[in-house]
Each structure stands twice: as C-alpha cells, then as structure tokens.
Structure 1
Amino acid sequence: MKIQPLSSEHWPAVKAIYEEGLATGNASFQTSAPSWEDWDKSHRHIAVLSRSKVRQWRDGAALTPVSGRCVYAGVAEVSVYVAWDQRGKGIGKTLLEALVTASEANGIWTLQAGIFPENTASIRLHEGAGFRQVGKREKIGKMGDRWRDTILLEKRSETIGL
C-alpha cells in the first residue's frame, strides 16, 4: 500500500468507499457523496493497493483548520474510511499514522475526531493511535429526525506547538 495524492481518476472508487461508510449510518452526518469538484477542495490523500485499484482513502480534510481564527491554526479534524472488504487488516491504522505524520509536517499540533458512539471500531482505531476521549457532544447534529451524539477525541503532537 502506498499513499498518494487524490486525483480525479480515483474519484469513482473513492466515492464508492465513502458511500459504503455513509450506508452504515454511523460514519458521517452526510447522507450522500459530494461532487468531485466539492470533494477535491478538501480531500487530498488516498491509499492505493497494488494493481492501482483504489481500496482505501484518507480524508485530507483532516488537515483543514477547524476554525478560521488564527489561534486555532494548528487544529484539524480527521476522518478515515476503509473499504468494507478491507477492514480489519491494519489499513486504517496505517492511514491514521500517515495522517499524523503529514499533519505534524504541516504544523498541526492537535488532531480531533468526532465519532458516533455506535462506531466502536473507529473509536478503538483512534485510541490505538494515541487519541484520547475528551468528551461527548450530546445532540450535536440531526440525521433525519434523530438527534445524534458524537464522541470527541483528540491527539496532541509531541513535537509541534510545545
């Protein structure tokens, strides 16, 4: 597996993997994939297996600041999606580790993730990568007519912002 920049040629496979996550109802508040143009504005990395078949991607929006205020310039949100048939193989861990490395190379001192409490595999993945739970955001957003909570996790850099 290698991590490379996302390009339009990857979009059909990336979109399918994202939609697999959306179909679970526990991956995002989003209900459908955006257009390629909207996606390209904020998503920058994917993971590619041999034979150039896209199987996983890392949400590059994680390197987008969570706020426009300068005091939060080093805080970013992260998301990781792995194709259904590739889960449990350590790919999510590899992607998250690469994301941490890339974020520090870009001056990010805090990564955060908002994960639905029902998505225990994602919570375990993040905790295994050094994220800690800092709180529960109750009824933070609605999916249809149902209010949803998220667990807020964060990872502080050991080298940036000290």
Structure 2
Amino acid sequence: MINNHKLYIDLMKKSDWPEVKMIYKEGLDTKNATFQTEVPTWEEWDSSHHICCRIVARINEEIVGWIALSPISSRIVYRGVAEVSIYISNRFSSQGIGNLLMQSLIVSSIENNFWTLQSNIFPENIPSIKLHKKNGFREVGRRKKIAQLDGVWRDTILFERRS
C-alpha cells in the first residue's frame, strides 16, 4: 500500500510505453540517471532490452516505476549477464517501490537463467547506490571519465550481483 492505494508489480506491455517513457524522461532530466539524452522510440527501446524481465509497478493502473534488463554483449558466453535499468516516478520516490521492483527483477532474472546483473551508476545517484547495495549488489569499481554527458566527463560506479 502506498498512500492507501494498492501497489502491484506487473509485466510490462507495449501499451505501457507512453507511461514508461514519461518516467524515463524524468530520469534523463535529472542528469544523474544515464548518459542518454533523448528518450528512444518504442522500437529502439524494445530492440535494446531483453524480452523477459520487463517489469512495472502500478498504483491504480498508473505506472509509477519500471525495471528492465539489457544485454551487455552479443557474445553467447555473456548470455547470462545483463544490465539493470530502473526508474521511479519523481512523485513516488523514496516509498519502497524501487526495492519491490528490484526484488521482482532478481527473481525473474534467476528464472530466466541470468547469473550476473550489473549496473553502472553515477556516484551522485545515492538513492540508486543504496538500492543496489540493499539488494545484494557489490561495488566492483569506479570508471573514471567513462563518457561525457552534455560535454562533461562523468564517472560511473560499476555494481554487480551474482545469482
């Protein structure tokens, strides 16, 4: 329950894209969620994420957060390794939704034969770092000046969780 409303976890459908896209855009606007600067089209997003392990959180049919996996490599030896993307609506941050989504993703990833989940997180994104640590991710290392966002070199911290 969130504010006396029932929260439930559900599989993401194509028809969810407009709401998922809006939440993704909120994350882009923070400049602390991703190097991405434009929200992709559904076709771009769909082709870059695994079909399984796409999960949304809903309150009264409204999507308030989402989580999904994308491949880290096209090489068959890395088929069980995936990168986590998780986004929560600004209106619903710090209410435990991220934790419920992450726990659901971990279960789904194991059922779908993923053995390693990884995340690259900006050091400034403290809530995401705390969420990952709480769910068994360990810090692997800091990647200094790995890429630029708006012309500024940024670091990321690599986290991984082994199943």
Q: TM-score, normalised by structure 1?
A: 0.89
The structure with more helix, counted as a fraction of residues: 1
Please give the residue correspondences for 1:130-141 in structure 2 after superposition, counting only pairs within 5 Å.
Answer: 130-141=136-147
Partner residue, 2:112: 106
> Does the C-alpha gap of structure 1 residues 125 and 33 become closer, same or farther in structure 2, counting only changes over 3 Å?
same
The structure with more strand, counted as a fraction of residues: 2
Please give the residue correspondences for 1:89-128 in structure 2 after superposition, counting only pairs within 5 Å.
Answer: 89-128=95-134
**1:71-114 superposed Cα distances (whole Å, 9 cap, x missing partner):** 22211110211000111111000001111111101111111000
Partner residue, 1:68: 74
Q: How many Å separate the matches in 2 of 1:93 and 1:126?
A: 9
**Letter aligned with residue 99 of structure 1:** L
SS of the counterpart of 1:23? helix
Q: Percent identity of the aligned residues?
A: 48
Distance apart, 1:37 and its partner CA: 1.8
Distance apart, 1:54 and its partner CA: 1.4
Report how many residues are paired. Answer: 153
Greater shift, 124-133 or 3-12, is seen at: 3-12
Q: Which runs of 5+ in 2 are unaligned?
A: 1-6
Instruction: Work out whether 1:25 is the aligned partner of 2:31.
Output: yes
**Letter aligned with residue 117 of structure 1:** P
**Letter aligned with residue 124 of structure 2:** E
Distance apart, 1:69 and its partner CA: 1.9
Q: Which runs of 5+ in 1 are unaligned?
A: 158-162
**Letter aligned with residue 132 of structure 1:** R
Alpha-carbon RMSD: 1.4
Please give the residue correspondences for 1:32-43 in structure 2 after superposition, counting only pairs within 5 Å.
Answer: 32-41=38-47, 42=49
Q: How many Å separate the matches in 2 of 1:137 and 1:118?
A: 14
Partner residue, 1:49: 59
Q: How many Å separate the matches in 2 of 1:30 and 1:87?
A: 21
Q: Which runs of 4+ in 1 moved over 6 A?
A: none
Q: How many Å separate the matches in 2 of 1:113 and 1:85?
A: 23
For the 8 Å contact 2:26–2:89, the answer to whether it is kept is yes
Match of 2:84 among 69, 78, 84: 78
Q: How many Å separate the matches in 1 of 2:79 and 2:22?
A: 32
**Letter aligned with residue 24 of structure 2:** Y
Q: TM-score, normalised by structure 2?
A: 0.88
**Letter aligned with residue 54 of structure 1:** I
**Letter aligned with residue 116 of structure 1:** F
Partner residue, 1:160: none
